[in-house]
């Protein structure tokens, strides 16, 4: 295994650990409602940190932007906006399904699509037959792992809530469908990064290293994602009249900021990982990142008591799902060697 591959996988693992736990602080908020927390989280993760990192690490940032065409800037921005809609659905899904199961469905689908779309649209001619089979097998095993985790979650839900709740949006299957829709749209952030590599290349042309140039992409892609998140948060703040909750900021503002730091830190590390993994970094690197994220979030959900009292018929599929994701990690690593 080449040193760059080892470092790329290690960075993807660390990114997965951070991102898999980025929603965990929400469980410790006391006075704020979801929209209060999400507004601060969005501002920190989608504006403050991306621009701070880009301005601090990318020399001649605005010269790089001025050297790009409108299309080169708009495409990653629009993909980011699509991901922003998924991000709103993601926050709702975590509330309705719990941390572990929501991550399994959303990130599992996002891992599969986010791995395959850049691979076939950008690198198909560069991928050998053996590597392609390893990637496809890895993605298939990811799907198996997600299915097993979802099955375990369904059994756990049935055990904890024998009487279904009323209302079309409150049932378990409605929440699962919402999470599936979110999973289909979630990899648009990776599309933004993958199809925004013209921005990174332009940053390299004005004198930045490849690692630093990657940070030039995030303010554009995440700027698109900001709009749906802010709009939905403001809508709920007005609808629920929850502006007054901001009058009691401590300790909830700390947890909201921590969410943003963990989330943006994870994607900053993913960008570095993709660079070290080479030309397939935005496909295979994304798959590895998502696998580590699923495993971290699932285990965190277990530690937080989400699976306390769950029957063995629920925990067994969960364990098999985690085992499947471990196998998928090995296959994707082999494909990128």
Q: Where are the domains of the chain?
A: 3-335
Token digits of residue 163: 């009487």
Question: What pLDDT shows up at residue 161?
Answer: 57
Question: What pLDDT shows up at residue 316?
Answer: 92
CA distances from 149 to 12, 154, 318, 320 (A): 22, 9, 5, 8
Question: What pLDDT shows up at residue 152?
Answer: 83
Walking along the chain (337 residues) 10 residues at a time, the average pLDDT comes out as 73 90 89 93 95 96 95 95 87 72 73 79 69 83 81 76 44 80 87 91 94 93 93 94 93 96 92 81 81 83 82 88 85 73
Question: What pLDDT shows up at residue 303?
Answer: 83
Burial 78-91 (b: 16+ CB within 10 A, else e): bbbbbbbbbbbbbb
CA distances from 256 to 39, 141, 182, 231 (A): 9, 34, 22, 18
Question: What pLDDT shows up at residue 163?
Answer: 43
pTM above 0.95, yes or no: no
């Amino acid at each position: 295994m080449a040193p760059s591959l080892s470092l790329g996988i290690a960075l993807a693992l660390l990114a997965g650990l951070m991102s898999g736990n980025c929603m965990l602080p929400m469980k410790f908020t006391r006075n704020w409602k979801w929209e209060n927390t999400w507004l601060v989280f969005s501002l920190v993760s989608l504006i403050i940190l991306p621009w701070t990192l880009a301005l601090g690490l990318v020399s001649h940032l605005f010269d790089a932007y001025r050297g790009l065409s409108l299309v080169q800037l708009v495409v990653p921005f629009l993909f980011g906006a699509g991901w922003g809609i998924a991000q709103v659905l993601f926050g709702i899904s975590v509330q309705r399904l719990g941390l572990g199961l929501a991550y399994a469905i959303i990130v599992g689908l996002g891992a599969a699509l986010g791995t395959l779309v850049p691979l076939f649209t950008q690198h198909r001619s560069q991928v050998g037959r053996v590597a392609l089979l390893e990637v496809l097998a890895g993605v298939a095993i990811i799907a198996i792992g997600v299915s097993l985790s979802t099955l375990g979650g369904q059994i756990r839900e049935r055990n904890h809530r024998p009487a279904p709740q009323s209302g079309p949006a409150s049932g378990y299957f409605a929440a699962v469908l919402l999470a599936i829709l979110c999973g289909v749209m979630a990899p648009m952030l990776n599309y933004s990064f993958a199809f925004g590599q013209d921005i990174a290349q332009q940053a390299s042309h004005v004198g930045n290293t490849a690692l630093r140039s990657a940070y030039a992409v995030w303010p554009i892609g995440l700027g698109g994602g900001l709009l749906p998140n802010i709009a939905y948060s403001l809508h709920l703040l007005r609808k629920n009249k929850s502006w007054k909750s901001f009058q009691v900021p401590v300790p909830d503002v700390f947890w909201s900021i921590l969410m943003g730091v963990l989330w943006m830190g994870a994607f900053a590390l993913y960008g570095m990982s993709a660079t070290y993994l080479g030309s397939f970094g935005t496909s295979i690197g994304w798959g590895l990142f998502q696998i580590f994220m699923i495993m971290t979030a699932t285990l965190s959900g277990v530690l937080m008591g989400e699976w306390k009292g769950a029957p063995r018929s629920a925990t067994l599929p969960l364990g098999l799902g985690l085992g499947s994701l471990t196998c998928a990690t090995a296959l994707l690593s082999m494909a990128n060697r």
